[in-house]
Structure 1
Amino acid sequence: MKSIIWIIAGSDSGGGAGIQADIKAIESFGGHACTIITALTAQNSMGVDAINAVSIEVLESQFSALESDMPANVIKIGLLANVQQVEFIAAKLAHFKAQWETPPLVVYDPVAVASSGEALTEDDIIPTLKSTLLPLVDVITPNTQETQILTGHYLIGPSAVRDASEAFFNLGVGAAMIKGGHWDYPQGYCIDYCAVPGQEYWLGNEKIIAPHSHGTGCSFASSVAACLGLGYPLKDAFILAKAYINQGLKVSVRIGQGIGPVSHCGFPQNLADFPEVIEAGSWLGKELELEPWDRPVISGFAASETQQLGLYAVVDSCEWLKICLENGIKTAQLRIKNSEAPDLAEQVKTAIALGEEFSAQVYINDHWQLAIEHGAYGVHLGQEDLDSADLAAIKQAGLRLGLSTHGFFEMLRAHNYQPSYLAFGAIYPTTTKDMTGQIQGLEKLKHFVPLMADYPTVAIGGIDLARAPEVAATQVGSVAVVRAITEAADPSQAINLLQAAIKRQH
């Protein structure tokens, strides 16, 4: 079944923002949008003429109808017109979170003032928001003005953005996504910030000059809600929502005599619409005073010899590596997790020699120092290794670099380094390592592959002979397997069947 997203917001009679924009954004990501309308606004592209708040009785009837038949995976909240609505909806959310078997996630876009500057609420709802609603919010998506109103922090620099997010946490909010469309720092760039306690993410892109941007805030928050409804992690919802808005701004057009709406163009498919994941060592990272200062982003590693790496064997011994290479596998990885193994250096040397003997591309997992020392073809690293490995030394030694990614955010982060190939996983649950919360599935893989078309791509995780054809059908350049070979009754036959299954799809 589709993910069900409830939208609690006002109706925009001009069709550019509010419920109308929310539905378009949610449907773009494959969610099913249900609506609980808080106000009927009379507005067009020129401004807001009237706000007609609905009664609590009308709100109750809408809640009752949905709750009895279509409970929400995620609830997205926009315009709340008065204190009574805030109190009523807060009580409803508290009930759902306490009583539902699977409590809904709550995404709140704190709409109080229209982009034209007109107040959208009947009275001052801020104190009631802080005391009743915000402690129930999982993700808040304010712009700079809304952030200042709710936290009292003026966003005059990176430290102020962090302070504002801490203020949201102190009010009980789970995560803060502070949008930077009105924060011109660095000049000419749009910087967006997402944080949960103990972790932060920065995104940046050149500011898109678009005169028609009505509904961007609603659409961003609803995109976040839709992605969370799909089970995407927060950082993936963050980067996809930003890409969704970027692509819409680039093609938005005038409808009416004033500010036209942001366009709704479906799931982001173009790499150029995605923002940069800002690393501490990049120039944007330095502008934002991110630490560590002395770790530049190293990019442009030696290219792989082919875009199609074929069947990719990941094994934990040279004995298995030799069997794979003898049976025609041309890309393989030696993955020995025990860094204290007494024969580790000897295994690495042997693996490199086997690669040379069989003219194969053999990557060494994790142990980049030994890979450099003994002249390996390449090294494979995880995302966590990007913060500790000497990437400059790996590049200088001429080694190829493969990087693991788990989702859209990590994929875009890996793109900063321009590695030799990108691995996407885990596609299916696997027993070789704990991948809780990181299962990607075929649908995500179908998005990853065209986005990263300039790289050799690898799918890994839980892939066996039965699954290999459908994985290869996504046109991913390589299918990596572990147990499908090492636990096969006849490894040679398993390799031949896997190679044939992949070849038929390419």
Structure 2
Amino acid sequence: MNNVVWTIAGSDSGGGAGIQADIKAMQSFAVHGCTVITALTAQNSLGVEALNPISTEVIESQLLALEHDMKASVIKIGMLANVQQIQLISEHLKHYRATWPQPPLVVYDPVAIASSGDLLTEEDTVSAIKECLLPLVDVITPNTHETQLLTGVYLIGPSALQDAAVKLQNWGAKSVLIKGGHWDYPSGYCIDYCLHQGEEYWLGNEKIQTPHSHGTGCSMASVIAACLTKGYPLKDAFILAKAYINQGLKAAVRYGEGIGPVAQTGFPTNLADYPQVIEAGSWLADELDFVSAHEFTMAAGFTACDSKQLGLYAVVDSVDWLEKCLAEGIKTLQLRMKDGSEDELDQAVAAAVMLAKKYDAQVYINDHWQLAIKHGAYGVHLGQQDLLAANLVAIKESGMRLGISTHGFYEMLRAHNYRPSYMAFGAIYPTTTKDMTGQIQGLEKLKRFIALLQDYPTVAIGGIDLSRAKEVAATGVGSIAVVRAISEAEDYQQAIADLQAAIAPPL
């Protein structure tokens, strides 16, 4: 994708928020930020002393210059100081939608009040935002104060956040992400909420106690814009932006006599800075009175694998292929049978367990956890969509290992809630075995996953063949899972030998 992001926002002479924060945050995620300045604020750490809106003629000249030569894949909008600016930006966004080959995504951070409490826009802008701008917005990122100002919904609990988000969507915003830094519910925690394509995402962490939080809203929206321009799904952009802010709050320093800025650091690399994915069964979900559609009890802390280095991991769809791979010395395998009668599946799992014992290998059963428990399998592998339906308590109490598939940062953090035996990341490359549209991870993300989850055995899967095995192994991943690279090879025995050699650690 085109790694150019525009930020349309005000300038903060104190350097902590606005255009200045946007550029720093975008650079932390290796995208190029271009600027359209809407106002020159005179402010420092103590507050806003003056707000000087830029004329619409000057704003338009900036927009025209950028459109001519540096079109954006994402446009982040911050402070718009008056109705005329809102109308002008809205007209240009309509033009981009109608004429650009790839219209930009629009992330709108409705900056109305500075961290100091000073009003940064004229009072009659709210109706213009609703009527002109929101129908053109892909993601809106208000904090709780701005949410209440825009919607009139007083945020007294989780259901109120949901109501406010629906209201913003009804006015045209496609996705709503409400930042909870000013919302002390439950006490001592920061809860953030996202409504996207009918799905809800809740993140939470203990509040980071620092007064120096100037620029957090601008920075978070800018990171979301940067991640979207790099092709990340919104739920991953959400969790990365939150981790970035947490990391920056912990490192924040005061430069003046008042409120200091959030630190603009690099890509978040410490798992402790990432928020918790809140879902049914967790303590935070209970505090927020979540209602689950499933009878579900969360379990965490599954039996550890025998080693963090699982090596070559063969994923096969029959007992016949399982035995062929075992005979060639593969020690980690998965039986993934999607079809078959109940009796056929039962017999297959029973045979797989017997073969694992015969060859002293670790065989995981995909999906069919009841049969895996019945026959005493070494482990079971579940996809994200299977977690709520499985009896995780029974799996844990059986002593079986649990592997979980993940596709991106959000799913990785969700899987971390369960403390599984290993995590699988995919698809690393496009694959014909599944439709992985929008879920291709690539080597750059794989390296990030491995660095964050050093305490887990890790598995890379998806589109990996002999030509790619060595570069995947070079990321430090503990195992490489293959499907077609063995079963569709002309000589499967030679394919296994070559794959084993390609991923073997150097002597």
Residue identity in the other structure for 2:494: Q
The residue aligned with 2:87 is 87
The residue aligned with 2:360 is 359
Give 1:272-421 correspondences, 5 Å limit.
272-292=272-292, 294-338=295-339, 340=341, 343-421=344-422
Superposed displacement of residue 429, structure 1: 0.2
Distance in 2 (alpha carbons) for counterparts of 1:190 and 1:5: 28
Within-5 A mapping of 1:224-243 = 224-243=224-243
Distance in 1, Cα, partners of 2:117 & 2:344: 69
**Which letter does structure 1 place at the counterpart of 2:107?**
V
**Residue 449 of structure 2 corresponds to which residue in structure 1?**
448
CA distance in 2, matches of 1:139, 1:190: 20
SS of the residue 2:467 aligns to: coil
Q: Deviations over 1:105-155 (max 9, x none)?
A: 100000011111111124420010000001111111111110000011011
1:460 corresponds to: 461
Q: Aligned residue for 1:473?
A: 474
- Alignment match, 1:484: 485
How far 1:54 moved relative to its partner? 1.1
Preserved CA contact (<8 Å) 1:472 1:505: no
Contact 1:193 1:200 in 2 (8 A): yes
Letter of the aligned partner of 1:435 in structure 2? M
| Structure 2 unmatched runs, 5+ | none
Q: Any stretches of 5+ residues in structure 1 without a counterpart? A: none
Following TM superposition, by how much is the alpha carbon of 1:36 offset from its aligned partner in structure 2, in angstroms?
0.6
Distance in structure 2 (CA, Å) of the matches to 1:322 and 1:148: 62
Whether the 8 Å CA contact 1:46–1:257 is kept in 2: the answer is yes
Q: In structure 2, what is the equivalent of residue 261 of structure 1? A: 261
1:186 aligns with 2:186: yes
In the TM superposition, residue 257 of structure 1 has moved relative to its aligned partner by 1.3
Superimposed CA distance per residue, residues 2-60 of structure 1 (whole angstroms, 9 cap, x where no aligned partner): 51110000111111000000011111111110111111111111111111111111111
Report % sequence identity. 68
- 1:216-269 alpha-carbon deviations (Å, 9 max, x no partner): 000000011111111111110110000000000001011111111100111010
Contact 2:2 2:72 (8 Å CA) reproduced: no
Kept in 2: contact 1:469–1:505 (CA 8 A): no
The alignment's TM-score, normalised by the length of structure 2, stands at 0.98
The letter of the residue matching 1:32 is H
Q: Deviations over 1:402-423 (max 9, x none)?
A: 0000000000000000101000
* Cα-to-partner distance string for 1:433-466 (whole Å, 9 max, x where unaligned): 1111111111100100011111100000000011
Q: Distance in 1 between matches of 2:504 and 2:493?
A: 17
Residue aligning to 1:130 = 130
1:18 alignment counterpart: 18
Distance in 2 (CA, whole Å) between partners of 1:234 and 1:211 is 29
> Residue deviations 1:355-375, cap 9 Å, x none?
111111000001111111111
Provide the aligned length of Structure 1 versus Structure 2: 506
Structure 1 residue 247 corresponds to structure 2 residue 242: no
Q: Report if the CA contact (8 A) 1:475-1:505 is conserved.
A: no
Q: Secondary structure at the match of 2:195?
A: strand
Q: How far apart, in 1, do the equivalents of 2:165 and 2:114 lie?
A: 22
Report the alpha carbon displacement of residue 291 of structure 1 after superposing the two structures with TM.
2.0
Contact 1:13 1:43 in 2 (8 A): yes
Moved over 6 A (4+): none
Contact between 2:297 and 2:393, CA under 8 Å: does it hold in 1? no
Q: Is the 8 A contact 2:333 2:364 kept in 1?
A: yes
Distance in 2 (CA, whole Å) between partners of 1:16 and 1:337 is 54
CA-based RMSD of the aligned residues comes to: 1.2
1:152 aligned partner, one-letter code: G
Provide the C-alpha distance between the structure 2 equivalents of 1:208 and 1:2, rounded to a whole number of angstroms: 35
Give the conservation status (yes or no) of the 8 Å contact 2:193–2:200: yes
CA distance in 2, matches of 1:217, 1:35: 17
Aligned counterpart, 1:497? 498
Deviation at 1:198, TM superposition (A): 2.1
Cα distance in 1, alignment partners of residues 375 and 134 from structure 2: 56
- Is 2:297–2:392's contact at 8 Å kept on the other side of the alignment? no
The question of whether the paired residues in 2 share the 8 Å contact of 1:311 and 1:479 is answered with yes
The answer as to 2:429 corresponding to 1:428 is yes
1:2 touches 1:32 (CA, 8 Å); kept in 2? no
The alpha carbon displacement at 1:197 in A equals 4.5
Q: Is the 8 A contact 2:2 2:73 kept in 1?
A: no
Partner in structure 2 of residue 195 of structure 1? 195
Contact 2:408–2:425 at 8 Å: present in 1 too? yes
Instruction: Show the counterpart of 1:176.
Output: 176
Residue identity opposite 1:478 in structure 2:
S
Cα distance, 1:2–1:270 mapped onto 2, change above 3 Å: farther
CA contact 1:39–1:53 (8 Å) conserved in 2? yes
Contact 1:185–1:191 (CA<8 Å) still a contact in 2? yes
Cα separation, 2, equivalents of 1:18 and 1:210: 20
* Offset from partner CA, 1:361-399 (integer Å, 9 cap, x none): 000001111111111110000000011011111111111
CA contact (8 A) 1:83 1:123 kept: no
SS at match of 2:334: strand
Q: Residue 8 of structure 1: SS of its match in structure 2?
A: strand
TM-score of the two chains, using structure 1 as the length reference: 0.98
Q: Is the 8 A contact 1:460 1:480 kept in 2?
A: yes
Take 1:336 and 1:294, find their aligned partners in 2: how far apart are those partners? 26
Q: In the alignment, what sits opposite 1:33? A: 33
**1:50-106 per-position Cα deviation (integer Å, ceiling 9, x unaligned):** 111111111111111111111111000001011100000001111111221111110
| Equivalent residues in 2 for 1:217-228, closer than 5 Å | 217-228=217-228
Q: What's the secondary structure of 1:27's corresponding residue? A: helix
Residue 64 (structure 2) aligns with? 64
Instruction: Give distance in 2, aligned partners of 1:426 and 1:340.
Output: 29
Report the CA distance between 1:346 and its aligned residue: 1.1
Counterpart contact for 2:115–2:213, Cα < 8 Å: no
